[in-house]
Amino acid sequence: MAEQVGAPGGEQGCPGAADLALLEQWNTLQSGFRRLTDQLLADVDTQAGIAPSEFQVLWYLLTSPDQSAPMNQLAATLNFTTAGTTKVADRLTDAELIRRQPSPTDRRVVFATLTPQGQEVAMAAALALAGALRDRVVTPMGPDAFAALADRMRALDPNPQRPCR
């Protein structure tokens, strides 16, 4: 049975010992995951020369149908602002990794599409991330523990999405 919310001294509105322990566990999970993600994306940047935001866009496009997506969908899915998405897309376009083209059916919609060079860079970056995951996560945890953790997180995801189609 869960402990009632309340401070040890009986103050209402303050978390009790069980809630404090639960909150500390959550803090450990989310802050540890954030730091690990930063390390993994830094590894990708070092090995493939792709900044984290650029890798997120390239990976999303690589795993999208026709390796293409509307810019507004890209922004919403990756949780980028419209301006942030445009900035990243500008850099990727300048590097000839994506091209932007208007929708043939709705001139208000612009699609971002991987170029052949973008496909190569995205695959190199994905392989760099896979190697970093093996080194930093799978080896210390073990493959079975990592797979079990991924399964549990998938079960908790309020909006599950398939990474590859």
Least confident residue range of 45-49, 51-55, 158-162 = 158-162
Least confident residue range of 11-25, 30-44, 55-69 = 11-25
**Residue carrying the six token digits 């091209």:** 99
pLDDT at 62 over 80: yes
Q: Report how far apart, in Å, the C-alpha atoms of 32 and of each of 23, 25, 84, 137 are.
A: 14, 10, 25, 12
* Cβ–Cβ < 8 Å for 123, 63: no
Least confident residue range of 25-34, 56-65, 71-80 = 71-80
Q: How many structural domains does the chain have?
A: 1
CATH of the domain at 125: 1.10.10.10
Query: Does 25 fall in a domain?
Result: no
Query: Does 78 fall in a domain?
Result: yes
User: 94 or 10, which is more confident?
Assistant: 94
pTM score above 0.85: no
Q: What is the pLDDT of residues 142-160, one digit of tens each?
A: 999 999 999 999 999 887 7
* Cβ–Cβ < 8 Å for 92, 118: yes
Distance CA 154, CA 150 (A): 6
Q: What is the pLDDT of residues 97-125, one digit of tens each?
A: 999 999 889 989 999 999 999 999 999 99
- Per the structure, the complete domain to which residue 103 belongs is given by 53-131
DSSP letter assigned to residue 66:
G
Closest by Cα among 110, 137, 116, 118 to 40: 137
